[in-house]
Amino acid sequence: MSTKYVYRFAEGNGSMRELLGGKGANLAEMTNLGMPVPQGFTITTEACNKYYDNGESISPELKEEILANIKLLETETGKKFGDTDNPLLVSVRSGSRASMPGMMDTILNLGLNDAVTEAVARKTGNPRFAYDSYRRFIQMYSDVVMEVGKSYFEELIDNMKTKRGVELDTELTANDLKELADQFKAEYKAKIGSDFPADPVEQLFGAIKAVFRSWNNERAIYYRRMNDIPSSWGTAVNVQSMVFGNMGDTSGTGVAFTRSPSTGEPKLFGEFLMNAQGEDVVAGIRTPQSIEQLKEINPQVYDEFAQTAKKLEMHYKDMQDMEFTIEEGKLYMLQTRNGKRTAVAALKIACDLVDEGLLTQEEAVNMIDPKQLDALLHPQFDDAALKAAKPIGSALPASPGAAAGQVVFTAEDATEWAKKGADVILVRLETSPEDIEGMHYSKGILTARGGMTSHAAVVARGMGTCCVSGCGAIVFNPDKSFTLNGKTIKEGDYISLDGSTGNIYAEKIPTVDASISGEFGRLMGWADEIRTLKVRTNADTPQDAAQAVTFGAEGIGLCRTEHMFFDPKRIMAMREMILSKTADQRRAALAKLLPMQRDDFEGIYEAMQGLPVTIRFLDPPLHEFLPTEKNDIQALAEDMGVTVEAINEAIVSLHEFNPMMGHRGCRLSITYPEIAEMQTTAVIEAAINVQKKHPDWKMVPEIMIPLVGDLKEFAFVKNIVTRVADELIAKSGIELEYLVGTMLEIPRAALTSDEIAREAEFFSFGTNDLTQMTFGFSRDDAGSFLGAYYDKKIYENDPFARLDQIGVGKLVQMSVELGKQTRPDIKLGICGEHGGDPSSIEFCHRVGLNYVSCSPFRVPIARLAAAQAAIRNR
């Protein structure tokens, strides 16, 4: 038997994507469900390859197979190619295995010629529609099939408009359009040398060849290269009969949802217009009717539609968003897809579908987009107020939620104003660790510089505070004000920020607090039963830790110790430590920090109630702690009893060309072992104190050495830790276990993980830095070129937001495998920003990590994503 190259929709199904392309497979699936879809057939991707093998021609056998299918289509529809009574008109569309939006060609209304157009005009009672369709068809066909440029036709339209003294295409009459169609055909003849083909069969083969050819047009080739799609896949061609909702008063068109997309309420929602085309519903010239009114106009069609909707929902097991057309009293389904919905609706629909027995709990868990949960965890703008507001600018949606407040320009002012009861929005060029307290007191944060992973963005997400970052259009004025797109905002003026869209408003928009409904808890409960990946949080304060526990965190995966030192009460001792000339001076300064740091850890342990806590030793380059302002330098000099010059010299000597790759992380403990000694003391003494207070908890502090690249580096610091810790524990009179591991964030550490695992008891992947080093660019500087990378389709995702599984992921996977070779029970986690990103979480599940750690407000997202990862990877 020879190969079958053409499939009627009824012959295919949803699983035949490779052969029929995405669109063809989908049309077949609908047909199989018994939906009234306008019928047609799909010419396979294999036929496309054969077309090219054949020297770009359609073989006689294929031609025959296509014609036989046209015959079947004519029989099925009762319409006929070229018939002046009931003409068959078809669309011819490409459809490849992978979605390639806009890359290839489409021809509509094929089958029109002078006589048929006349007939359509008559039948629809709408000659303008008929002739507009006709002139569009000629133009499209000439362009796509015969490659006569569009511009010639557009010139003719312009001439016609000038002649008629009108400005818009829509102002041309049916007669004008008929005349244009004649002119178009003349133009075609002038350019091509023969008459425009009146024969629909000739038109059809021209169109099919054009679609095949479009597989190799320049933009398709470029798109394939950029998206790694082999040219051998080929494209299928879909030939589908056209239906019209504007054929008179028994025709119409509409869109509907099977449940409310805003609330999830389980009833049909939608609207329609009689005697109209799809674009009329959208255009808003006529007011559409509610879907319920269709019941009165045509109860039979309404019932059929309602049943179809129900059936589609049952089949896809999800709320559907449908398009339909009624042609002369007959219902046609043009499209169905899972409907978009609000977060609230998503949860209600999922729970309802379980209660209705349509979904298992697992399926319900799987259908929620984890990112949507974000909206439930933060305040949002009042819907009506938001609709009335107009943004004055927008920038990066760096941390979700909505905030309204009075503008302040320094962290100190933020704290002061907030303490007096004001809601404040902190506006800064960029934030730095010294701003932490002010950021805590702000309702929202707006920065002019910095990307999604800038200091402001990272800290704000951690705090659950709304943040819009990188608004380069902001110009700061000298008089405590800023100008954005012509609008000047002074200190104390109200602005509002939408951290989910990045919009900035020059007014106070009321916000409504987040409410976590009962469905939220139900769904999370199901998720927790399914997932195998633990979810921890990144938290540096008892407040953040407690917040994360309420969101379901099962431990702290990253407690950064450096943020604690920026507190004004502590920074002085920190600076003394940094500027010490001898180990003894340094020890003396560290001794001042020890009790504070021990208190911090006790607070965090208490908040975590015995759950595991991973504490990372001091990481940033020391100059980050040094003063930059003249009076701070003066104060430090006085405090330390040295000259201002000496301080300035020290600051210069600590300058680094590339601080990200400088003297930081474990390198600090190697040059200054006193730092590791003090931090070990704080971690262990705090654990001993808390353990004594809560004998029923099992304290096992996890000490994490950052920026390790070599076993010996790690072993050196671990030696310090175990020496100090073992002595303290022996003195304490109680037993205390602790773990020493590393933040795995240097490519070399991943490459030599078998060695490092000899000493390290856990790895926590620090994928922020690992991404920076693996790609060779710094987050802080990448902004200057990443825009061009997205524009030119070189990157599709921000590798700092979504783990690059090809490159960085390969290193992570190598590291996991090598680490387990040496230490099969090694504890593995991730604590980079990626720990809260669903696709990255799935990757973590797949490579066998034990936990992910993310900012408190991402914990529910991570719990859900982890459950979905478990389901997908069974």
The pair of three-digit structure tokens given for residue 175, joined into one six-digit string: 């007669």
- Closest to a second copy by CB, 330 or 793: 793
Among the listed ranges 151-159, 323-331, 744-752, 824-832, the one in contact with a second copy (CB under 8 A) is 744-752
Among 68, 283, 388, 794, binds a second copy (CB under 8 A): 794
- Closest to a second copy by CB, 87 or 747: 747
Q: What x/- string results for residues 821 through 860 when contact with a second copy is judged by CB under 8 A? A: ----------------------------------------
Q: Which of 720, 706, 717, 800 is nearest to 749 (CA)?
A: 706
Q: Which of 68, 54, 55 is nearest to 4 (CA)?
A: 68
The pair of three-digit structure tokens given for residue 792, joined into one six-digit string: 């030119």
The pair of three-digit structure tokens given for residue 192, joined into one six-digit string: 């091509």
Burial 168-200 (b: 16+ CB within 10 A, else e): eeeebeeebbbbbbebbbebbeeeeeeebbeeb
Query: Where in 728-783 does DSSP place strands (E)?
Result: 739-744, 762-765
* Using rule CB under 8 A, residue 810 touches a second copy: yes
* Using rule CB under 8 A, residue 4 touches a second copy: no
Torsion angles phi and psi, residue 224, rounded to 5 = -65, -40
- What is 648-715 written as a DSSP string? HHHHHHT--SSGGGSS-THHHHHH-HHHHHHHHHHHHHHHHHHHHH-TTS----EEEE-S--SHHHHH
- C-alpha span between 702 and 615 (Å, rounded): 6
Among 149, 518, 521, 807, binds a second copy (CB under 8 A): 807
Among the listed ranges 82-90, 176-184, 372-380, 808-816, the one in contact with a second copy (CB under 8 A) is 808-816
Among the listed ranges 78-86, 264-272, 360-368, 651-659, the one in contact with a second copy (CB under 8 A) is 651-659
- Closest to a second copy by CB, 225 or 693: 225
Among 440, 480, 663, 694, binds a second copy (CB under 8 A): 663
Among 160, 166, 473, 751, binds a second copy (CB under 8 A): 751
* Using rule CB under 8 A, residue 566 touches a second copy: no
- C-alpha span between 807 and 552 (Å, rounded): 31
Among 433, 542, 610, 659, binds a second copy (CB under 8 A): 659
Residue 567, burial from CB neighbour count under 10 angstroms (0-12, 13-18, 19+): middle
Least gap, CB of 684 to a second copy (angstroms): 23
Among 656, 726, 727, 817, binds a second copy (CB under 8 A): 656
- What is 261-308 written as a DSSP string? TTT--SS-EEEEEES--HHHHHH-SSPPEEGGGHHHH-HHHHHHHHHH
In this structure, which amino acid lies at residue 197?
P
- C-alpha span between 590 and 583 (Å, rounded): 10
| Contact call for residues 247 and 124 (beta carbons, < 8 A) | yes
Among 712, 727, 821, 873, binds a second copy (CB under 8 A): 712
What is the 8-class DSSP label of residue 80? B
* Using rule CB under 8 A, residue 713 touches a second copy: yes
Among 345, 808, 816, 841, binds a second copy (CB under 8 A): 808
Among 752, 764, 815, 853, binds a second copy (CB under 8 A): 752
Among 661, 700, 801, 871, binds a second copy (CB under 8 A): 661
- Closest to a second copy by CB, 367 or 666: 666
Least gap, CB of 714 to a second copy (angstroms): 10
Three-class SS state of 760: coil
Among the listed ranges 7-15, 101-109, 535-543, 782-790, the one in contact with a second copy (CB under 8 A) is 782-790
Least gap, CB of 741 to a second copy (angstroms): 18
Size of the site for a second copy (CB under 8 A): 52
Among 513, 657, 696, 731, binds a second copy (CB under 8 A): 657
- C-alpha span between 452 and 467 (Å, rounded): 10
In this structure, which amino acid lies at residue 654?
L
* Using rule CB under 8 A, residue 716 touches a second copy: yes
* Using rule CB under 8 A, residue 802 touches a second copy: no
Torsion angles phi and psi, residue 660, rounded to 5 = -60, -30
* Using rule CB under 8 A, residue 748 touches a second copy: yes
Least gap, CB of 715 to a second copy (angstroms): 7
Among 451, 709, 819, 832, binds a second copy (CB under 8 A): 709
- C-alpha span between 632 and 626 (Å, rounded): 9
Q: What x/- string results for residues 760 through 779 when contact with a second copy is judged by CB under 8 A? A: ---------x--xxxxxxx-
User: 48, 351, 378, 455: which is the annotated catalytic residue?
Assistant: 455
The pair of three-digit structure tokens given for residue 593, joined into one six-digit string: 């920090």
* Using rule CB under 8 A, residue 596 touches a second copy: no
Give the H or E element holding residue 20: helix 17-32
Least gap, CB of 769 to a second copy (angstroms): 7
Among the listed ranges 26-34, 555-563, 574-582, 665-673, the one in contact with a second copy (CB under 8 A) is 665-673
Q: Which of 239, 249, 319 is nearest to 74 (CA)?
A: 239
- C-alpha span between 529 and 434 (Å, rounded): 41
Across the strands, what pairs with 559? 615
* Using rule CB under 8 A, residue 448 touches a second copy: no
* Using rule CB under 8 A, residue 707 touches a second copy: yes
Tally the C-alpha atoms within 13 A of residue 35's C-alpha that lie toward its C-beta. Answer: 29
Q: Which of 423, 471, 414, 425 is nearest to 447 (CA)?
A: 471
466 is catalytic: no
* Using rule CB under 8 A, residue 671 touches a second copy: yes
User: 48, 471, 559, 831: which is the annotated catalytic residue?
Assistant: 831
Residue 89, burial from CB neighbour count under 10 angstroms (0-12, 13-18, 19+): buried
* Using rule CB under 8 A, residue 375 touches a second copy: no
- C-alpha span between 326 and 300 (Å, rounded): 12
* Using rule CB under 8 A, residue 670 touches a second copy: yes
Least gap, CB of 404 to a second copy (angstroms): 31
In this structure, which amino acid lies at residue 860?
P
Q: Which of 8, 80, 89 is nearest to 44 (CA)?
A: 8
Q: What x/- string results for residues 319 through 338 when contact with a second copy is judged by CB under 8 A? A: --------------------
* Using rule CB under 8 A, residue 583 touches a second copy: no
Among 80, 135, 136, 667, binds a second copy (CB under 8 A): 667
* Using rule CB under 8 A, residue 624 touches a second copy: no
Q: Residue 259: how many CB atoms within 10 A of its CB?
A: 24
Least gap, CB of 654 to a second copy (angstroms): 8
The pair of three-digit structure tokens given for residue 337, joined into one six-digit string: 């897809």
| Contact call for residues 852 and 787 (beta carbons, < 8 A) | no
Among the listed ranges 209-217, 333-341, 550-558, 663-671, the one in contact with a second copy (CB under 8 A) is 663-671
* Using rule CB under 8 A, residue 798 touches a second copy: no
| Contact call for residues 737 and 700 (beta carbons, < 8 A) | yes
- What part of residues 213-252 is at the interface with a second copy (CB under 8 A)? 225-226
Torsion angles phi and psi, residue 264, rounded to 5 = 90, 0
Among 658, 730, 733, 874, binds a second copy (CB under 8 A): 658
- Closest to a second copy by CB, 511 or 752: 752
The pair of three-digit structure tokens given for residue 77, joined into one six-digit string: 């529809």
666 is catalytic: no
* Using rule CB under 8 A, residue 785 touches a second copy: yes
Least gap, CB of 334 to a second copy (angstroms): 36
* Using rule CB under 8 A, residue 262 touches a second copy: no
β-pairing, 503-505 with 289-290? unpaired
Active-site annotation, residues = 455, 831
Interacting residues toward a second copy by CB under 8 A: 225-226, 656-663, 667, 670-671, 707, 709-710, 712-713, 715-716, 745-748, 751-752, 755, 769, 772-778, 780-782, 784-785, 788-789, 792-795, 804, 806-808, 810-811
